[in-house]
Amino acid sequence: MSTQFDVVVIGAGPGGYIAAIRAAQLGLSVACIDAWQNGKGGPAPGGTCTNVGCIPSKALLQSSEHYDQVNHHFAEHGIEVKGVSLNLEQLLGRKNNVVKQNNDGILYLFKKNKITFFHGKGAFTGKVDGGWAINVSGTATADIVGKHVVIATGSSARELPGLPFDEQQVLSNDGALNIAAVPKKLGVIGAGVIGLEMGSVWRRLGAEVTVLEAMPEFLAAVDQQVAKEAFKIFTKQGLAIQTGIKLGEIKAGAKSITVPYTDAAGTEQKLVVDKLIVSIGRVPYTGGLQAEAVGLQLDERGFVVVDGDCKTNLPNIWAVGDVVRGPMLAHKAEEEGVAVAERIGGQHGHVNFNTIPWVIYTSPEISWVGQTEQQLKASGRAYKAGSFPFLANGRARALGDTTGFVKILADAATDEVLGVHIIGPMASELIAEAVTIMEFKGAAEDIARICHAHPTLSESMKEAALAVDKRTLNF
Ligand code: FAD
Ligand code: NAI
């Protein structure tokens, strides 16, 4: 007889493992199945985020930023360091350790919350009495039944047609995190989040990086004032970014890759690089799930079709995270995981898609929540804007990092905050205040009236809120 669970979660990325923990907290019996293997074939829960995404990329961004600081910025603090050298093996090894700590942390959380973990692939086999039958194959083999099933199988990197990833020369995010020697010339296709973050890592470590982007606008989804500032700064740092290009047929040779393209002016160009990162977006992953065995509906792009509550077309089957519509972000996946577990547990889980923050972990960082100025203009909503440069912030001066600004967009009549856009130091941390205010439907004046500690970067948020009412104190 198959073991029955109240909830079976397929996938232990941020969507899946968080759904499993929340369901267990609500007193439900929970199993979580995940196929990811570490280098030794053992379990490595945490999904893309932990293994080849958020966590390792941020570890490399931190290490490479230290290297950049010691080489280029310590001297202005009066710290003279001679004989700096890069131990890339150690740098990559540290990143692998950070990943392992996170894998182990999730295994511990499964134990702590009495979640049955299966290391293997989960596939639907049909509908039975009491729920949905699922076969587990891999390190663990089992036939189990879930009264409810949460699909959290994530996404994988999109390939360019005719150019499969070999992770040696043509790299997905996975290979981009594991280059064994700093390439002399690195090409990046796609100036999106991965292209800019990974391009920054390898540029700081010494590679000559060229980023080719098809869209005419740089960071088209980002507030264009921020995008323009970012373009200026990244270009000055040495990232060669070309927008509005059209790729020709890429040829991977034994030692180099040739990327022919037409530039924005219509001129034929040729880029020859040692390695090429292809970061042109990600596609939902449902391979091995046997969706067809139960009639699970996918859309034409392969996403599992869900309603606003993450319900699929099948009763008691839910789906969350990258495998469904919406931004492909770890915290969005987590929010959906919690909400679904709460709905299964009889509560009223809720995700507010209007207040999901975005962060690009370049230097300076970029973060935003809510609507951009171009979106507000397009929708015809009357708004007021206020911004404050980090140049006028005492803490930023003390840090030696005065690039960028905070910009707040508020409704012209009610002063409700509609969007906050930051480029500058610790933008990833500063955005949390904006999310909180927007979640409470607060006004710019609310931020302006809150006491912010001095000297902090967060005072720039207060000053930008004051600027909405044209009364900054320090600028
Ligand atoms: P995933 O994390 O992809 O997890 C899915 C899991 O399901 C995997 O472990 C997979 O092996 C498993 N699985 C799939 N099919 C089966 C099956 N049939 N049986 C068993 N297991 C299965 N987001 C951020 O918010 N911040 C960041 O800084 C950030 N950085 C990123 C950097 C990079 C380089 C990349 C690639 C992504 C980054 N992301 C970031 C995006 C983030 O990683 C994803 O949005 C997030 O991982 C999605 O979570 P998920 O649970 O939906 O899926
Ligand atoms: P992306 O969607 O951010 O950017 C892809 C870029 O490639 C776009 O600008 C697109 O116009 C361009 N492009 C597409 N086809 C092209 C072509 N043929 N030639 C040239 N350019 C082309 O996707 P990316 O960077 O692959 O990242 C995938 C997702 O992973 C992100 O959208 C995000 O959801 C998530 N992620 C989040 C991070 C974060 O939160 N800090 C970090 C990294 C990834």
From 66, 72, 350, 454, active-site residue: 454
Alpha-carbon torsion 127, 132, 133, 137, what sign? positive
Amino acid, single-letter form, for residue 261: Y
Q: Whose CA is nearest to atom 29 of ligand 2?
A: 281
12 Cα: distance to centroid of ligand 1 (angstroms):
9
110 Cα: distance to centroid of ligand 1 (angstroms):
18
Q: Given this model, what pLDDT does residue 115 score?
A: 98
DSSP alpha helices (H): ranges in 73-161?
Answer: 88-112
Mean pLDDT across the chain: 97
Q: Whose CA is nearest to atom 2 of ligand 2?
A: 281
Closest CA to 245 of 268, 226, 229: 268
Q: Which atom of ligand 2 is nearest to the CA of 195?
A: 25
Q: Collect all residues with Cβ–Cβ distance below 8 Å to 236 and sequence separation of at least 6.
A: none
pLDDT in tens, 387-416: 999 999 999 999 999 999 999 999 999 999
Q: Is 132 left (phi over 0), alpha (psi -120 to 50) or beta?
A: beta
pLDDT higher than 90, residue 4: yes
Q: Which ligand is nearest to the CA of 32?
A: 1
DSSP alpha helices (H): ranges in 208-329?
Answer: 224-237, 291-294
Residue whose entry in the numeric block shows the structure tokens 């360019």 = 160
Domains of the chain, each with CATH number or no CATH: 3-157+283-351 (3.50.50.60), 170-280 (3.50.50.60), 355-468 (3.30.390.30)
278 Cα: distance to centroid of ligand 2 (angstroms):
9
Q: Which ligand is nearest to the CA of 49?
A: 1
Q: Which atom of ligand 1 is nearest to the CA of 17?
A: 51
pLDDT higher than 90, residue 169: yes
Q: What is the CA radius of gyration of the chain?
A: 24
47 Cα: distance to centroid of ligand 1 (angstroms):
5
Q: Is 67 left (phi over 0), alpha (psi -120 to 50) or beta?
A: alpha
Q: Whose CA is nearest to atom 26 of ligand 2?
A: 281
Q: Which ligand is nearest to the CA of 331?
A: 1
pLDDT higher than 90, residue 135: yes
Q: Whose CA is nearest to atom 11 of ligand 1?
A: 36
Distance (Å, rounded) from C-alpha 11 to C-alpha 185? 36
Q: Given this model, what pLDDT does residue 472 score?
A: 98
Distance (Å, rounded) from C-alpha 359 to C-alpha 153? 23
Q: Would residue 454 show up in a list of annotated catalytic residues for this protein?
A: yes
Ligand 1 contact, 151 CB (< 6 A): no
pLDDT above 70 coverage of the chain, percent: 100
- What pTM, to 2 d.p., does this model score? 0.98
With a Cβ cut-off of 6 Å, ligand 2 is lined by 189-195, 197, 212-215, 247, 279-282, 327-329, 359-361
Ligand 1 contact, 16 CB (< 6 A): yes
Ligand 1 contact, 192 CB (< 6 A): no
pLDDT higher than 90, residue 2: no
Q: Given this model, what pLDDT does residue 1 score?
A: 65
Ligand 1 contact, 343 CB (< 6 A): no
pLDDT in tens, 20-70: 999 999 999 999 999 999 999 999 999 999 999 999 999 999 999 999 999
pLDDT in tens, 83-124: 999 999 999 999 999 999 999 999 999 999 999 999 999 999
308 Cα: distance to centroid of ligand 1 (angstroms):
21
Q: Which atom of ligand 1 is nearest to the CA of 322?
A: 52
Ligand 1 contact, 190 CB (< 6 A): no
Q: Which atom of ligand 1 is nearest to the CA of 11?
A: 7
Helix (H) and strand (E) counts for the chain? 14, 22
Q: Which atom of ligand 2 is nearest to the CA of 330?
A: 40
pLDDT in tens, 443-472: 999 999 999 999 999 999 999 999 999 999
